[in-house]
Amino acid sequence: MIERISNKAELRAAVAAARKEGKRVGFVPTMGALHEGHLSLVRAACARTDLVVASIFVNPTQFSPGEDFEAYPRPIEADLSALSAEGVEVAFTPTPATMYAPDTQVTVDPGPLAARWEGALRAGHFAGVATVVAKLFSIVRPDLAFFGEKDYQQLKIIERLVLDLDLGVGIVACPTVRERDGLALSSRNAYLSAQERQTAIAVPEALEAAARAVAWGELDVPAIEAAMRDAFQVRVAASDVAVSLDYAAVIDPATLEPLERVAGTARAIVAAHVGTTHLIDNCPLAPPAA
Ligand code: PAF
């Protein structure tokens, strides 16, 4: 049976009681509207820790003006049942007023990893993410916290946040969960019309094109990126949906800087607007063994 806690002091007490019994605490931070991707994080947390806390908090500070903060889906009862069915014992569901005092002054600067890609498209987004994750870690004090590789830039920023601020939380990266046709699961997929949903597979198709090119020995990044854009456009050209490709790039998996050549491991990243829905995805790239 899941316990829903909205108050910071109560949450701290519940975690402290578990710790006293020698339990290891796992944490899955979410914004709700849970899907199989979130549940895969929960399953990983249940497998590796003794008490799993999941938070559901649609964090206002990571939405830029004009984004979908108000419209973001909040199916709280369904989310609590899904977490309970997976064996989560505590759901932390604070309100914005619980998380942020009206006179809040200090925020976390996510640094250079936030400069490009989503950081360039969404002003202030990663400062909002880094700040709320630091606050959630400080409230929950987990041993391990679980994040999806789908939000790759977010994952790298959080790993760095933990390192640079000595937060003492182990970050566990979990693989992206996909639909059968390759579309990465995302709460925002719910916004897509049927036609947009069909067109959205342009995003994983661009990644597949990158992986194929590298597997065939293409290591020149401009050529790989051209293959990504071509694959994307082939799918988009077959549809009437308004689509814009925000970026299709091959980057260093640690620094997130653009690469000129794939020498060791690399990451292909794609972001696009399909209709008004912003979709992101990524995959690892490795040159064929010599
Ligand atoms: O990935 C998300 O759902 C959010 O960015 C997170 C990590 C829960 C912070 O609000």
Atom of ligand 1 nearest to the CA of 129: 9
CA gap 152, 165 in Å, rounded: 20
- What angle (nearest 5°) sits at the alpha carbon of residue 130, between those of residues 127 and 136? 135
pLDDT the model gives residue 285: 98
For residue 40 and ligand 1, the question of a CB distance below 6 A is answered with no
pTM here is 0.98
Would residue 125 show up in a list of annotated catalytic residues for this protein? no
pLDDT the model gives residue 77: 98
Atom of ligand 1 nearest to the CA of 59: 10
- Show me where the domains of the chain are located: 3-174, 187-282
Positions in the chain short of pLDDT 70: none
For residue 129 and ligand 1, the question of a CB distance below 6 A is answered with yes
In tens, the pLDDT along 126-169 reads 999 999 999 999 999 999 999 999 999 999 999 999 999 999 99
For residue 151 and ligand 1, the question of a CB distance below 6 A is answered with yes
For residue 62 and ligand 1, the question of a CB distance below 6 A is answered with yes
pLDDT the model gives residue 290: 74
pLDDT the model gives residue 1: 86
CA of 229 to the centre of ligand 1 (A): 28
Q: Does domain 3-174 have CATH number 3.40.50.620?
A: yes
In tens, the pLDDT along 58-80 reads 999 999 999 999 999 999 999 99
- What angle (nearest 5°) sits at the alpha carbon of residue 128, between those of residues 184 and 254? 60
**Residues 174 and 147: beta-carbon distance below 8 Å:** yes
Beta-bridge partner residues of 283: 268
Torsions phi, psi for 81 (to 5 deg): -65, -40
Q: Which of 38, 125, 273, 278 is catalytic?
A: 38
CA of 133 to the centre of ligand 1 (A): 8
Atom of ligand 1 nearest to the CA of 30: 8
Residue that the structure tokens 């497998």 belong to: 47
For residue 202 and ligand 1, the question of a CB distance below 6 A is answered with no
What is the third-level CATH fold of 187-282?
A: Pantoate--beta-alanine Ligase; Chain: A,domain 2 (3.30.1300)
